[in-house]
Amino acid sequence: MPAYCLYLFGTMKKILIISQILYCSLFGQGNLYPVETSFGGGIGFGNMYMVMNEVPGGEVMDRMGFNVDQLQTKPLVFYGGEGFAQMTGPWRLGGYAGIGASQVSNVYDFVLYANRDGVPLYQEPNAGAVNGDQLYTYKPGVDLETTERLSVKGKLNIYLGAITAEYVFPIYRDLEIMTGALMGLGSYNLSVDQSIGIPIWSDLGRSMYGYIQGDSVMVELDANGGTFDDAADELNRKGVQPIRVSESMTEISSLFFNFQPYVAIKWQFLDRMGLRMSAGFNRGTIGAGRWRLNGHIPINDSPEASIGGFTVRTVIYFGL
């Protein structure tokens, strides 16, 4: 046999052996169904970003002079954590808990006006109008702060707690794609806090109508140039009115069922540490009449509202 034939035969033999070695090595490294995917789990902390389509109860903020967009709900950032555990075959169960919060504040000056045209709210009078509304300058008395302004703060808090169910598609030994859903309960809280001047500890918690003595609210009569009998008759006719208070807070809240389908990717970049990222769409519904004022008073005519939007979750986890 010629020498060059022996040389070619030897070279082809070496190439075949090397190819088999590389194939076996790569197959061992990239097994589509490694043992690790059938067992294990992990837990970690991360963020969820929700681009909310609307802010339920936002009209309350509008009436306070706020722009709902100032709440920075696009996206609203949730801080929390999640965990997961491989159950059987490609199925995986887990849990998630997080809180999203945002707030906005502003300060307003007081302006007095006389409603002379009978139309609700202040109307800019037309030129030459005789019965148009009129503005007056607010000048606090000597016993009040000379720089009185109304401070208003709006707060939004959303609490979520849910379980997750996923179906796993192994791509590589350290890389997986999952499709699943997050299901659970949430709490939606929107509060507006109003205050005048500098808060004083001893003034906090006072009744809006007088002061508490035993089982009674003691309301002081103001004769205002007349008699106390006339003042008492006036209160009996019109009802007791709130007295001047330095602060008040209104909170509307509701519980809701939350559902979030998503697609996720899991990358195990270290032996006991990895990264999970998911993208989905959140859908939570607050039923009509389910809102409550200050946590316990039902608001029977409250409208239905939804807590929905595109979501992205990221978490650094520890585990397999």
pLDDT, tens digit, for every residue of 195-229? 877 666 776 666 677 778 788 888 888 877 788 88
**pLDDT for res 39:** 65
pLDDT, tens digit, for every residue of 70-93? 888 889 999 999 999 988 888 999
Measured CA to CA, the distance from residue 203 to residue 223 in angstroms comes to 25
pLDDT, tens digit, for every residue of 274-285? 999 999 999 999
DSSP string, 220-270: ----TTS-HHHHHHHHHHH-------SEEEEEEEEEEEEEEEEEEEEEEEE
Buried b (16+ CB within 10 A) or exposed e, 134-167: eeeeeeeeeeeeeeeeebbbbbbbbbbebebebe
Judged against a pLDDT cut of 60, whether residue 33 lies above it is answered with: no
CA-CA-CA-CA torsion for 141, 144, 150, 155, nearest 10 degrees? -160
Q: What value does the mean pLDDT take over residues 234-256?
A: 80
**pLDDT for res 155:** 93
**pLDDT for res 163:** 96
Judged against a pLDDT cut of 50, whether residue 36 lies above it is answered with: no
Which of 90, 86, 82 is CA-nearest to residue 318? 82
Helix (H) or strand (E) holding 213: strand 211-213
Measured CA to CA, the distance from residue 267 to residue 286 in angstroms comes to 36
8-state DSSP, 4: H
Measured CA to CA, the distance from residue 155 to residue 141 in angstroms comes to 32
Judged against a pLDDT cut of 50, whether residue 31 lies above it is answered with: no
8-state DSSP, 73: -
**pLDDT for res 44:** 93
Please give the structure tokens belonging to residue 44.
Answer: 């970690």
Q: What value does the mean pLDDT take over residues 249-262?
A: 93
- Residue showing tokens 């906005």: 104
Contact criterion met (CB below 8 Å) for 153 and 248:
no
Measured CA to CA, the distance from residue 71 to residue 76 in angstroms comes to 9
CA-CA-CA-CA torsion for 67, 70, 75, 76, nearest 10 degrees? -100
Q: In order of start, what are the domains of the chain with their CATH numbers?
A: 35-109+153-195+249-320 (2.40.160.20), 110-148 (no CATH), 207-244 (no CATH)
Helix (H) or strand (E) holding 17: helix 3-29
Measured CA to CA, the distance from residue 311 to residue 75 in angstroms comes to 9
Judged against a pLDDT cut of 90, whether residue 128 lies above it is answered with: no
Q: What value does the mean pLDDT take over residues 89-99?
A: 93
Residue type, 133: D
Mapping DSSP to helix (H, G, I), strand (E, B) and coil, where does residue 68 land?
Answer: helix
**pLDDT for res 32:** 46
Which of 20, 51, 137 is CA-nearest to residue 309? 51
Judged against a pLDDT cut of 90, whether residue 21 lies above it is answered with: no
**pLDDT for res 26:** 46
CA-CA-CA-CA torsion for 89, 91, 97, 100, nearest 10 degrees? 130
For the chain, the maximum distance between any two Cα atoms, rounded to a whole number of angstroms, is: 135
Give the range with max mean pLDDT: 149-153, 265-269, 298-302, 308-312: 308-312
What is the percent of the chain where pLDDT is above 70? 80
**286 vs 204, higher pLDDT:** 286
